[in-house]
Structure 1
Amino acid sequence: MPNAPLVPTVRRRRLGATLRKLRHDAGLTLDEAATAMGWKGPKMSKIENAAQGVRPNDLLGLLDVYGVADSEARTALEGLAKDAGKRGWWQTYSVVVSPSYADFISLETDAEKICSWTPLLIPGLLQTAAYARETISGITTTRSPEEVAALAEVRMARQSVLTRPGASLELWAIIHESALHQRFAARPATMREQLRRLLDASEMPNVTVQLMPLTSTAHPGLLGGFSLASFARPLPEVVVLENLSGAAYVEGEDAAPYARAFQHVQATALSVEDSLVRITEMEEGLRK
């Protein structure tokens, strides 16, 4: 799970970075933008660097200064400003959810689409409770059984973004076939149930599952897994790179190489139809 702290919140950072880009696009310096708002330069700098929040009314004034008239863009930025310091449902699990994991969940909650390439694990949004408990227990070296159970509950609660009314998250998940060969000695039925979950989820209109076969040719995903989160414009894309020491976040224009890499991974993987056939065959094989 992501556990490298982001200060103060990833939402505020995204807002600040977007406002900086809009100011540059408008051809204004920090001092010129601050003067137009009746502020001093340091306030603008703090907002853009996420050291200070911005009130929704002030945000709308800034967007007027920057010539942003698009109603959808204004609404998206206003919503982000309002939510920058909001406490989410995950605060109930604050004992096990670190500040950076909370940032990770907020990204997932805000996103319109997530493209996920996972070479070793089933994506969290598609896991069963049993698979979540087994993998969390196996990966962690410091969590108690109670904490593992709580983290599995969090993972299950995260999946509500796939079924929320009116604005369900679009998920495109590409999974390496090797992840489907994982076995769990204590509970042998775990992987069969997980494969069934993938097949059921693939029937949802907002979920696409592809499989990278063991026989695939070389592709950019060989360098490791990543998730690319996309938001309502003009908010920039964010890439999440997870590892044992935490997570790295790649934002804005730096996310573009990952978008191109995901397209190559898509093209190398089995088609959606062939992927589901392969998963079905594996699930049926585990019934015997």
Structure 2
Amino acid sequence: MTDALPEDTGTTLPRRQLGRLLRDARAATGMNLDEAAALVQWSRPTLSRLERGETEKVRVNDVSALCEAYGLSGEATAVAKGLAEQTPAKSWWHAYGDLIPAWANLYVGLESGATSLTIFQPLIMHGLLQTTDYARAVDRTYFPDDTADEIERRVQIRVQRQRILTRARQPTKAAVVLHENVLRTVVGDSRVMAAQCRHVADMSTRDNIEIRVMPFRAGLPLGAAVPPFTIMDFGRDTRSKRILEPSQVYCEGYAGSAYLEKRTDVLTFRHAFRKLEQASLDTRSSRDMVREIARRHESER
């Protein structure tokens, strides 16, 4: 975690996501830049800038024309058009179920590409640390109309996400602060919670993961309630040494989520995390506390 951030770039998250979507769609057709640009009567550099997320003004009609040329489905075209409308935004809020139906995939894509994650969770276990039983209990409540198969698919997505922390080569680094609420709030039942707490304690022994618990007695270190957030930092290109993606702050809420990438916003959340971290137990004491809470859940079965 560092405060040495680059200045704000001219590109934005929606521009970069739109560029990736269109680049992948073009690649799927087998067309090169020249061939695709000719289809919509553009120059090669113009299309290349769009795919890199460097186009300042993106017109929805132009994006629609590219989607048609690539034979994208109506849903994929809706996603692309929604991104085109959001391209100027540096700070960006989206509601679940709005024009862009697959926004969870956006977060998962960013998360999987991050080299380090800085996480604060005040109420619920972060998805990367959830056991399958805990995830299943959460999803059954949040998605009451889903079938058993749909719930299982959601759980398996969670399991796949978690591999970034446990893979053998270059696992993602994670610094996590969990409020004591997360460990004591019963999700599922006491058996589920006992296993969940033991899992957190085990994960905290990994070299790439630091987990601290902020106890009830810490009060309000920032003088206000803080939403759950994740700061995602990305590596540099091995050749050019350019940052692959600007740092992102992801704040999750019940009705939607916010993506923030302004330098000042990222710094604000870094400073907030530092204060939350200082108010928390150290890693060894946190692990001991998590295991003690696991034993208490076990005794309540």
Q: TM-score range by the shorter chain?
A: 0.5 to 0.7
Aligned residues: 214
The reply to whether residue 223 of structure 1 matches residue 226 of structure 2 is yes
Q: TM-score, normalised by structure 2?
A: 0.64
Alignment of 1:71-110 (within 5 A): 99-110=102-113
CA deviation profile, 1:104-132 (whole Å, cap 9, x unmatched): 11111110000100001111111100000
Q: Tell me how far apart the structure 1 counterparts of residues 229 and 151 of structure 2 sit (CA, whole Å).
A: 23
Aligned residue for 1:248? 258
Partner of residue 80, structure 1: none
Residue 197, structure 1, aligned to residue 203, structure 2: no
Q: Which letter maps to 2:54?
A: E
Q: AA paired with 1:246?
A: G
Amino acid at match of 1:250: L
Q: Which amino acid aligns with 1:286?
A: H
Could you list the per-position Cα deviations for residues 61-90 of structure 1 after superposition, in whole angstroms to 9, with x for gaps in the alignment? xxxxxxxxxxxxxxxxxxxxxxxxxxxxxx
Q: 1:280 to 1:8 in 2, by over 3 A?
A: same
In structure 1, how many angstroms separate the alpha carbons of the residues matched to 2:174 and 2:216? 23
Partner of 1:284 in structure 2?
295
Relative to structure 1, the CA distance from residue 184 to residue 119 in structure 2 (aligned partners, 3 Å threshold; closer, same or farther) is closer
Helix, strand or coil at the partner of 1:215? helix
Q: Secondary structure of 1:222's partner?
A: coil
Cα 1:10–1:38, aligned 2, differ >3 Å: closer, same or farther? closer
State the alpha-carbon separation in 1 of the partners of residues 258 and 146 from structure 2: 22
Q: 1:166 deviation in Å?
A: 2.1
**Residue of structure 2 in register with 1:258 after alignment:** 269
Moved over 4 A (4+): 6-9, 37-40, 42-46, 49-52
* 3-state SS in 2 of match to 1:224: coil
SS in 1 for 2:298: coil
SS in 2 for 1:143: coil
Instruction: Give the structure 2 partner of residue 171 of structure 1.
Output: 174
User: What's the offset of the Cα at 1:175?
Assistant: 0.7
Q: Distance in 2 between matches of 1:177 and 1:249?
A: 26
State the alpha-carbon separation in 2 of the partners of residues 180 and 113 from structure 1: 23
For 1:210, the equivalent position in structure 2 comes to 212
Which has the larger displacement, 132-141 or 269-278?
132-141
Distance in 2 separating the partners of 1:192 and 1:184: 10
Match of 2:134 among 113, 131, 135: 131
Q: Tell me which amino acid in the other structure corresponds to 1:285.
A: R
* TM-score under structure 1 length normalisation: 0.66
Tell me the CA shift for residue 45 of structure 1. 7.1
Give the 3 Å change call, closer, same or farther, for CA 12–276 of structure 1 in structure 2.
farther
How far apart are residue 143 of structure 1 and its match? Answer: 3.1
- 1:153 is aligned to 2:156: yes
Q: Percent identity?
A: 23
Q: Deviations over 1:215-260 (max 9, x none)?
A: 1132237221100001114232101111122211101413221111
Residue type of the alignment partner of 2:261: E
1:236 aligns with 2:246: yes
Matched AA of 2:266: A
Unaligned runs of 5+ in 2: 1-12, 21-42, 60-99, 237-242
Partner in structure 2 of residue 57 of structure 1: none
**What is the DSSP-based 3-state SS (H/G/I as helix, E as strand, rest coil) of the residue aligned with 1:48?**
coil
Structure 2 CA distance for partners of 1:198 and 1:98, relative to 1, 3 Å: farther
In the alignment, the residues of structure 2 paired with residue 231 and residue 122 of structure 1 have an alpha-carbon distance, to the nearest angstrom, of 23
Question: How much is the aligned-residue C-alpha RMSD, in angstroms?
Answer: 2.9
Give deviations 1:36-72, integer Å, cap 9, x for gaps: x9956x97578424859xxxxxxxxxxxxxxxxxxxx
What residue is the counterpart of 2:4 in the other structure? Answer: none
Secondary structure of 1:218's aligned partner:
coil
